[in-house]
Chains A and B, each alone.
Chain A
Amino acid sequence: MNNLQQKAQQLLESGNYGLIVGYEKGTSGKARPVFIRKAEHASKLIFDESCDQNIAVYLYRQEIKHDKKKVIVANHHTLKSIVELAAENQVFDGDFMVLAFAGNGDIIELNTFEEIEKHVATLYHGLTEAEAAMMKKIEDMSLEDRWAFWENEFSKCIKCYACRASCPMCYCPTCTVEINQPQWISVPSHTLGNLEWHVMRAMHLAGRCVTCGQCGKACPLELPIQLLTYKVALDSKQFFDSVAGTSICADNALAIFKPEDHENFIR
């Protein structure tokens, strides 16, 4: 048994905790979320580089939301989302314990939002090299080429909403697409309706996207839709010095007004 499995076993045996949300090996050895309730199942837990899924989405899941004896095994994406969810009052201090990992692989117990916030401050918050290169590729395109690029991508979207379902920040009980009086966004998955959906989602995530890329990873058609929310995340940083997932105070760009905010985009 490795450190994580031993830790999980101890926590469950202690009786102080009843549920561990983490990762296990799934089909073809791929990591997937797992819910461990019995100490004897702790050996299922894994934590390696394949565990890059953001699983903060489970923290407010109806079935376990009010379970205060839960633990979540968090990668850096999940940690940042927890901070952002805390800022938006979607999760509550003391409702769960976080098991994070230090650079050397040691397990770190984080019990309060303050501890989580402090730990998150030590993490890297920018895009990966590959992600930055993709962003640059699109930003360097002419307006026509960029339109053609996204038109092609949106034409493939089947509107399964895997992007929304896997995003921890998409927690609205009723999403704009589900409102039909008035019908803001087309339900059928044609190119225009798909564009409306993805642009709307990106705007709703302005200043809130922690750039985990989970929406893009979840997409069965492999649309690089994470680039849309990355763009608004980068703009939030550039224009409002707001980086989601760094502060447990609700100070994201669209939630507050500062007199010194730029207004040059209003024409």
Chain B
Amino acid sequence: MERKLLTKDSYRSLITKLIGQNYQVVAPVKKDTMIDFLKISSFDEITEDYIVTVSSAKTVAFPRNEKLFDYEKQNKKLTQQDYDFDSIPQSVLIGVRPCDAFGFHSLSSIFCWDSIDKIYTTRLERTTIIGLSCNKSDDYCFCTSTKGSPGSTAGSDILLTKMTDGNYIVEIVTEKGAKLVADFSDLFTADGGVDKESLLAKVAANFNVDDVLAKINSKFEDEAFWTEQAMRCIGCGACAYVCPTCACFDIQDESHGGKGHRVRCWESCGLSLFTLHTSGHNPRENQGQRWRQRLMHKFSYMPDRLNTIGCVGCGRCSRACPVDMNIAEHCMSIIEN
């Protein structure tokens, strides 16, 4: 893989130039008490003081609300204004951790499964992902258990790794990444050959996801197991909403008088309305069944049908969980029970 060097000053110039050229630049920003991906208007808004952001990078391609079309009814005549694809900006997403970047692979496998979701794919096509290797981790991180690593290039167009002098090793991963480097070629210099591995966080692999994949189907009918696993779960949607690979959505019409729009918004298998039928029947009527759905989806359905694991080991769900449902622990319980 081609490597270059980007000094911290050149990094600032790159971002400043991108903003100047009307790219939508989205980066980790400290807002109030949290660090999250937000659109920036100046390089100084960026922070690198995070393990992972609260929300995942998926919001760039799969925002929490996506207006699909507008409609208006007047004198029994319905007019519809379709989705405006021109409104999707050319974006550069920076500071994306390798787990998050790989999340797009899982997410795309869902949005491009049987029919291609044009809104999602267009958003992603118009986004260049500049990853940032992890130089620190916490107790929630487990990417190395799910085939990832703190310096994995998979999913990024360019991956930056910060060196001790504050400059960055640049790995050019995709054609899109190569184009960006070519567009600003004066900012990138020859690679100094610094050992990347020594700069990365050490994340212990506490389990092997293949063992979860091999075991989970046999646990499907063990209701007592799932009930006990989910006892602590209070049934909110925090885990799914911060997850880089959770793709479930709801379709809602929001109208005022004769005018309105249709919105795609996030949905979660943790919530009690999930899969509730109009008849009143719900095939997943208790939290144990809903928690099973969450884990089966990630570690059985997605591997079986989409040939990808639905979990990148970022640990966001566990950090966001009000009751500390630590998904890595639950994976280990599946292996051990």
Q: Which residues of A contact B (CB under 8 A)?
A: 26-28, 30, 32-35, 53, 57, 61-64, 152-153, 156, 158-162, 164-166, 178, 186-190, 214, 217-218, 220-222
Q: Please judge, given known A-B contacts A27-B318, A63-B227, whether A160 and B232 are in contact too, CB under 8 Å.
A: no
Contacts of A178 in B (CB 8 A): 272-273
Residues of B within 8 A of A28 (CB): 138-140
Number of interface residues of B (CB under 8 A): 45
Closest 4 CB pairs between A and B?
A: A218-B322, A220-B320, A32-B324, A165-B236
CB <8 Å contact, A187 and B326: no
A220→B242 contact, CB < 8 A? yes
| B235 in contact with A34 (CB, 8 Å) | no
Chain A residues contacting B228 (CB-CB under 8 Å) are 35
Stretch of B3-11, B80-88, B203-211, B261-269 contacting A (4+ beta carbons < 8 Å) = B261-269
Instruction: A160 to B248: give the CA distance in the assembly, Å.
Output: 13
Partner of A222, one of B32, B140, B234, B329: B32
Within 8 A of A (CB), among B13-62: 31-34, 36, 54-55
| Those of B132-151 within 8 Å (CB) of chain A | 138-140
A165 in complex: contacting residue of B138, B231, B234, B318, CB < 8 Å: B234
Q: Mark B317-337, 1 if CB is under 8 A from A, else 0.
A: 011101110100100000000
What is the minimal beta-carbon distance from B324 to any residue of chain A, in angstroms?
Answer: 4
A30-B324, A63-B286, A187-B265 known; A162-B34 Cβ under 8 A: no
> When the two chains form their complex, are residues B322 and A187 in contact, meaning their CB atoms are under 8 A apart?
no
Complex: chain A residue closest to B286, CB-CB: A62
B271 touches A161 (CB 8 A): yes
CB nearest to B265 among chain A residues: A188
Is A188 a contact of B65 with CB atoms below 8 Å? yes
Complex contacts, B138 vs chain A, CB 8 Å: 28
Check B234 against A160 for contact (C-beta < 8 Å): no
Give chain A residues whose Cβ lies under 8 Å from the Cβ of B117: none
Please judge, given known A-B contacts A35-B231, A158-B64, A189-B265, whether A220 and B252 are in contact too, CB under 8 Å.
no
What are 14 inter-chain pairs, A to B, with CB distance below 8 A? A27-B139, A27-B140, A27-B318, A32-B232, A33-B232, A57-B234, A63-B231, A156-B31, A158-B55, A158-B242, A161-B237, A164-B236, A165-B236, A166-B322
Asked whether A189 and B232 contact (CB < 8 A) given A158-B55, A158-B266, A220-B238, the answer is no
Question: A188 contacts which chain B residues (CB < 8 A)?
Answer: 64-65, 252, 254, 263, 265
Q: Which of B32, B272, B286, B324 contacts A27 (CB 8 A)?
A: B324
Residue of A nearest to B326 (CB): A27
6 other contacts beyond A61-B231, A178-B272, A186-B252, with CB at 8 A cut-off?
Answer: A32-B323, A158-B241, A162-B237, A189-B65, A189-B266, A221-B54
